[in-house]
């Protein structure tokens, strides 16, 4: 898994093969197939590894302070930092590069992805209980926060938000996240406009544990059908 993740970050999905991962790990070409029948199975495992890291980071963010606002900012920083440290793994998790529909993805992947998102919902719900956040459906608020933070992460990874160095040092990355977080918690509409916009909104039909069920049959066949590295 470590060898495969290193190859993924070095060259993306196309540069990753079971044969090359075996070579990097110093094992026989046949060894990976005992665990991953095809490349798509390895990609699912790498995505699950990413969601597990995100889940742990959000749990730690919830314990960093007694202040829910600070917890939320720390969660945003942890998310963006993981994306910057593992850009290709983040694309694998959220970029539609592997099919995440329930019928195709392993149950354990859906479970850890859902858990990582629920970590964010928990921070917001507990903050609402302490009257730190507005009393609106926690899932709606979590979706809004997630969208802003994920967008920030992608802009930093893509170089649209320019930093003095790439990847940015934690101090600079935290400053970038703080600007976005401050805007999200303060809002950008006037007090007069807030009452008009405060009505409840329906929750979309999809549950955003991994975002919309991304990935097409074409992406699956491409990943699943890459058997050029079979022994």
Domains contained in the chain, CATH given: 2-224 (1.10.357.10)
Residue 103 pLDDT = 56
Residue 7 pLDDT = 95
Residue 153 pLDDT = 94
For the chain (231 residues), the mean pLDDT of every run of 10, in chain order, is 94 91 93 90 93 95 92 95 94 75 73 91 93 89 92 91 80 90 78 66 54 43 48 41
List of E strands, the chain: none
Tens digits of residue pLDDT in 107-160: 888 899 899 999 999 999 999 999 999 888 999 999 999 999 999 999 999 888
Name residue, tokens 């802003």.
148
Residue 220 pLDDT = 44
Name residue, tokens 């942890």.
78
- Report which of 6, 43, 38 is spatially closest to residue 21, judged by C-alpha positions: 6
- Give 45's contacts (C-beta < 8 A, 6+ positions apart): 1, 35, 36
Residue 186 pLDDT = 79
Residue 188 pLDDT = 65
The pTM (predicted TM-score) of the whole model is: 0.79
Residue 221 pLDDT = 47
């Amino acid at each position: 898994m470590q060898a495969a993740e290193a190859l993924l970050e070095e060259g993306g999905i196309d540069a990753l093969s079971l044969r090359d991962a075996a070579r990097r790990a110093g094992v026989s070409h046949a060894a990976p197939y005992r665990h991953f029948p095809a490349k798509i199975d390895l990609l699912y495992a790498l995505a699950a590894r990413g969601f597990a890291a995100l889940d742990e980071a959000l749990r730690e963010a919830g314990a960093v302070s007694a202040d829910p606002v600070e917890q939320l900012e720390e969660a945003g920083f942890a998310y963006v930092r993981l994306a910057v440290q593992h850009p290709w793994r983040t694309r694998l998790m959220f970029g539609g590069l592997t099919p995440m529909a329930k019928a195709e993805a392993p149950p354990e992947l859906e479970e850890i992805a859902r858990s990582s998102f629920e970590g964010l919902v928990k921070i917001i719900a507990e903050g609402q209980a302490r009257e730190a956040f507005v009393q609106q459906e926690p899932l709606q608020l979590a979706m809004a926060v997630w969208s802003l933070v994920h967008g920030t992460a992608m802009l930093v990874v893509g170089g649209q938000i320019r930093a003095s160095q790439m990847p940015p040092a934690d101090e600079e990355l935290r400053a970038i996240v703080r600007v976005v977080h401050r805007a999200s918690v303060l809002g950008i509409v006037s007090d007069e406009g807030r009452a008009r916009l405060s009505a409840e909104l329906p929750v979309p039909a999809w549950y955003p544990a991994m975002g919309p069920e991304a990935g097409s049959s074409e992406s699956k066949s491409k990943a699943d059908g890459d058997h050029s590295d079979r022994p």
